[in-house]
């Protein structure tokens, strides 16, 4: 096929593939790690109070109300918080700002699949580091010369959590580069690296409203770091898009952040359902690492994951299947839904396995 002259200068990348968002309503959606519970009541109240006249005005480019609310909650200065349109946006800004070396950045080989996309898009050299046989990050792999480090904790899609001591070991061994700890799932059973901000000026922590605060549809994410580093990221942001956060997202984000009791109640329900689901999966012969996220990454020695995925989908139950890399091809990532949704999933699996569909 002939390539047009103008195509020779087009930047082409293999894009990130998001989880399927089906149009049908008669389904159980366990494929994109969304929270099964509604946002805090205060969010609905704030939405009803939105002044329509604000829609014709630009929002606060600094999103000060939201930044201040997050900073106050964590006992930080406002200059230590950066917000954006979901954690994907703030992580992309962090990549663009912080990974500007000719040395490769490092991240796990099985991890959030947007990392290599951003690296390719921004022309950042990178090397992936293999997880061990238990899907764990090996801190020794991150002691080599590099241009920066990024990894989730808990990891995605495995759900495996690293202890804070191991996180600190990686940061301590790499004082001359930025280390980004992506904590999208930290509220479901982990300990945040937040205390380490007082000790290390090269640490960035990314979090999101999408999972534990039930606001994936509003696209709110944020970074925590030292003031100088956050200032550099803001400089890049203002050079790229001054108004990333819209009026509604800022107002609803503030309302969500204020209701800590509701947040704790919802995350606890998800944790309890997850632990119950682990026992159910084990009883059916599934194998998985001990997830501390709002999903379980499971395989079955007798069933092909892709077959189970397709048959679940026909039943209106959506989970996530990754064909690459090869090592995880026989795994399914299953979001923790409500207890009723999970009971429906297990009812189907028990019937499915009773019909001898094994490999």
Model confidence pLDDT, tens digit, residues 34-80: 999 999 999 999 999 888 888 899 999 999 999 999 999 999 999 99
Q: Give this prediction's pTM.
A: 0.95
> For residue 19, is pLDDT > 80?
yes
Percentage of the chain modeled with pLDDT above 90: 86
Lowest mean pLDDT among 51-60, 164-173, 338-347: 51-60
Percentage of the chain modeled with pLDDT above 70: 99
- pLDDT (0 to 100) of residue 59: 92
- pLDDT (0 to 100) of residue 324: 82
Average pLDDT over residues 11-22: 86
Rounded Cα–Cα distance for residues 169 and 36 (Å): 35
Average pLDDT over residues 302-325: 94
> For residue 327, is pLDDT > 80?
yes
Rounded Cα–Cα distance for residues 334 and 157 (Å): 10
Q: Please write down the HEC assignment for all residues of the chain.
A: CCCCHHHHHCCCCCCCCCCCCCCCCCCEECCCCCCCCCCCHHHHHHHHCCCHHHHHCCCCCCCHHHHHHHHHHHCCCHHHEEEECHHHHHHHHHHHHHCCCCCCEEEECCCCCCHHHHHHHCCCCEEEECCCCCCCCCHHHHCCCCCEEEEECCCCCCCCCCCHHHHHHHHHCCCCCCEEEECCCHHHCCCCCHHHHHCCCCEEEEEECCCCCCCHHHCCEEEECCHHHHHHHHHHHHHHCCCCCCHHHHHHHHHHHHCHHHHHHHHHHHHHHHHHHHHHHHHCCCEECCCCCCEEEEECCCCCHHHHHHHHHHCCEECEECCCCHHHCCEEEEECCCHHHHHHHHHHHHHHHHCCCCC
274 or 13: which leads in pLDDT: 274
Average pLDDT over residues 150-174: 97
According to CATH, what is the number of the domain 23-38+261-354?
3.90.1150.10
> For residue 206, is pLDDT > 70?
yes
- pLDDT (0 to 100) of residue 196: 98
Model confidence pLDDT, tens digit, residues 243-265: 889 999 999 999 999 999 999 99
- pLDDT bracket for residue 149 (50, 70, 90): very high
Q: Give the right CATH number for 41-258 from 2.20.28.90, 3.30.530.20, 3.40.640.10, 3.40.630.10.
A: 3.40.640.10
Displacement of CA 100 from its chain's centroid (Å)? 23
Q: Please write down the HEC assignment for all residues of 232-264.
A: HHHHHHHHHCCCCCCHHHHHHHHHHHHCHHHHH
Length of the chain: 359
Rounded Cα–Cα distance for residues 286 and 302 (Å): 9
Describe the strand order of the beta sheet including 221-224 as a list of residue ranges: 81-84, 221-224, 203-208, 179-182, 148-152, 105-108, 126-129
> For residue 316, is pLDDT > 90?
yes
Mean pLDDT computed over every residue of the chain? 94
Using alpha carbons, select from 205, 198, 163 the residue that is nearest to residue 180. 205
> For residue 359, is pLDDT > 70?
no
- pLDDT (0 to 100) of residue 23: 84
- CATH 3.40.640.10 domain position(s) in the chain: 41-258
140 or 7: which leads in pLDDT: 140
- CATH 3.90.1150.10 domain position(s) in the chain: 23-38+261-354
113 or 8: which leads in pLDDT: 113
């Amino acid at each position: 096929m002939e390539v047009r002259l103008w195509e020779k200068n087009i930047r082409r990348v293999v894009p990130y593939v998001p989880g399927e968002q089906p149009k049908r309503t008669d389904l159980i959606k366990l494929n994109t790690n969304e929270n099964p519970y509604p946002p805090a009541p205060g969010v609905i109240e704030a939405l009803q109070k939105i002044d329509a006249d604000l829609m014709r005005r630009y929002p606060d480019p600094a999103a000060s109300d939201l930044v201040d609310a997050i900073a106050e909650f964590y006992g930080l200065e406002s200059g230590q918080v950066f917000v954006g349109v979901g954690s994907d946006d703030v992580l992309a800004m962090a990549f663009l700002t912080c990974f500007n070396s000719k040395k490769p950045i490092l991240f796990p080989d099985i991890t959030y699949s947007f990392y290599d996309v951003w690296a390719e898009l921004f022309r950042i050299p990178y090397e992936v580091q293999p997880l061990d046989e238990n899907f764990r990050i090996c801190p020794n792999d991150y002691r080599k010369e590099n241009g920066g480090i990024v990894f989730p904790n808990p990891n995605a899609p495995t759900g495996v959590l690293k202890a804070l001591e191991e996180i600190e070991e990686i940061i301590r061994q790499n004082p001359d580069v930025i280390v980004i700890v992506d904590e999208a799932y930290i509220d479901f059973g982990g300990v945040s690296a937040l205390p380490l901000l007082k000790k290390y000026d090269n640490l960035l922590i990314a979090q999101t409203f999408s999972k534990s605060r039930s606001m994936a549809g509003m696209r709110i994410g944020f970074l925590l770091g030292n003031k100088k580093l956050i200032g550099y990221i803001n400089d890049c942001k203002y050079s790229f898009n001054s108004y990333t956060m819209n009026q509604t997202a800022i107002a609803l984000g503030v309302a969500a952040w204020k209701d800590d009791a509701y947040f704790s109640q919802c995350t606890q329900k998800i944790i309890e359902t997850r632990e119950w689901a682990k026992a159910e999966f084990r009883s059916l012969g599934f194998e998985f690492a001990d997830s501390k996220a709002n999903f379980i990454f499971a395989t079955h020695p007798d069933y092909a994951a892709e077959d189970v995925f397709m048959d679940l989908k026909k039943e209106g139950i959506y989970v996530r299947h990754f064909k690459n890399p090869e090592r995880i091809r026989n795994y399914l990532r299953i979001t923790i839904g409500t207890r009723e949704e999970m009971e429906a999933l297990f009812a189907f699996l028990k019937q499915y396995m009773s019909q001898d569909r094994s490999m």
